[in-house]
């Protein structure tokens, strides 16, 4: 049937209005930028840059590739698990042990679930600067630490040697270890990861005595001055010793080194059941110590915002993150 030019104009105008209406509503079901119909994904960010690196990359992929709004919540580790019960949190991307919380929220209350390992191998330990281990080779045996306690005294530790911790919320058995091993030391809190790293750098370059809590993954290991003069780990009683107390049931009884951690992800049960593609992405998320440290170094050492660092990392590493993406 032929149309007059007026009818053709009216039909075209109607189609244009409909097209504009669809675009205004988000472009249809296939549009990755549509966040209006999706619930925000609420992710815990703990006070160390590795945690922020995890969250930044997942936030970027959720927003830019899957079209989800994201809420990042700055929370202390351990405390954040409460959000699974209150309904205020969907995911923790990096869990260091936390057997007590796991028992309470996953096993007993069933408001949370294990979402699988994240691929990162975590280690925590006591360290001294490399120069100290060279000057005093026997200092790396915990049995000899009291012989050197005077070297570590500070105004904050008084008549005891100082043991430096980072953020006070970190997984820490140190006060119990010091007490149960009979060591003449006092835990002093540095206040943050950045302050802890700076103290370790200064102790290395200025050759000042320092005994401190430190861990991996952490970008500072691959940067100067720790790259050229690495910290040396104190040999505490091994974590698999027959006499070791289970700190999950008796944290005050800690008497052995920290175990190795296969870091994992935890999510709320509701998110696991109803989170759709966002849950699938987080469940699939897995990377290495090097991947995380590379991202964290962009933030801490190169001064990039977490958002810009994530955009760069995603642009440079499609072969890694493409495997996390849910089937479309």
CA atoms within 13 A on the CB side of 71: 10
CA distance 321 to 74: 24
Contact in structure between 168 and 189 (CB atoms under 8 Å): yes
Sign of the CA dihedral running 95, 97, 100, 103: positive
Question: Could you tell me the residue ranges of all domains in the chain?
Answer: 35-120+262-321, 123-253
Same topology between domain 35-120+262-321 and domain 123-253: yes
pLDDT in tens, the chain (328 residues): 333 333 333 444 444 443 444 344 433 333 344 455 899 999 999 999 999 999 999 999 999 999 999 999 999 999 999 999 999 999 999 999 998 999 999 999 999 999 999 999 999 999 999 999 999 999 999 999 999 999 999 999 999 999 999 988 887 999 999 999 999 999 999 889 999 999 999 999 999 999 999 999 999 998 899 999 999 999 999 999 999 998 888 989 999 999 999 999 999 999 999 999 999 999 999 999 999 999 999 999 898 999 999 999 999 999 999 999 998 6
Furthest C-alpha separation in the chain: 102
Instruction: Name the CATH architecture for the domain at 123-253.
Output: 3-Layer(aba) Sandwich (3.40)
Structure tokens, 241: 């010793």
Closest residue by Cα to residue 311 from 64, 80, 11 = 64
Instruction: Mention every residue, 6+ apart, whose C-beta is less than 8 A from residue 21.
Output: none
Name the CATH code of domain 35-120+262-321 (choices 3.30.70.20, 3.40.190.10, 3.40.50.11610, 3.30.470.20): 3.40.190.10
């Amino acid at each position: 049937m032929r149309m007059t030019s007026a009818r053709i104009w009216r039909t075209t105008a109607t189609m244009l209005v409909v097209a504009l209406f669809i675009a205004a509503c988000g472009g249809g079901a296939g549009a990755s930028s549509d966040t209006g119909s999706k619930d925000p994904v609420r992710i815990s960010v703990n006070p160390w840059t590795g945690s922020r690196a995890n969250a930044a990359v997942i936030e970027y992929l959720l927003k830019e590739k899957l079209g989800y709004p994201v809420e990042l919540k700055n929370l202390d580790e351990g405390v954040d698990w409460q959000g699974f019960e209150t309904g205020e949190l969907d995911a923790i991307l990096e869990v260091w042990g936390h057997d007590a919380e796991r028992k309470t929220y996953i096993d007993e209350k069933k408001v949370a679930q294990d979402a699988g390992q994240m691929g990162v191998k975590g280690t925590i330990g006591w360290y001294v600067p490399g120069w100290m281990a060279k000057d005093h080779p026997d200092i790396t045996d915990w049995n000899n630490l009291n012989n050197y306690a005077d070297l570590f005294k500070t105004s904050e530790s008084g008549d005891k040697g100082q043991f430096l911790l980072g953020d006070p919320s970190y997984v820490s058995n140190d006060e119990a270890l010091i007490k149960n091993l009979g060591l003449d030391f006092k835990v002093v809190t540095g206040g943050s990861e950045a302050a802890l790293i700076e103290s370790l750098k200064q102790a290395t370059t200025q050759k000042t005595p320092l005994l401190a809590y430190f861990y991996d993954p952490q970008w500072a290991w691959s940067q100067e001055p720790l790259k050229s003069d690495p910290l040396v780990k104190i040999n505490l009683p091994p974590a698999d010793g027959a006499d070791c107390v289970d700190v999950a049931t008796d944290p005050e009884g800690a008497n052995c080194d920290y175990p190795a951690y296969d870091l994992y992800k935890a999510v709320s049960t509701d998110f696991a059941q109803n989170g759709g593609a966002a849950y699938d992405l987080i469940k699939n998320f897995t990377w290495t110590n090097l991947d995380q440290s590379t991202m964290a170094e962009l933030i801490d050492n190169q001064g990039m915002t977490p958002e810009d660092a994530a955009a760069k990392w995603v642009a440079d590493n499609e072969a890694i993150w493409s495997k996390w993406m849910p089937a479309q």
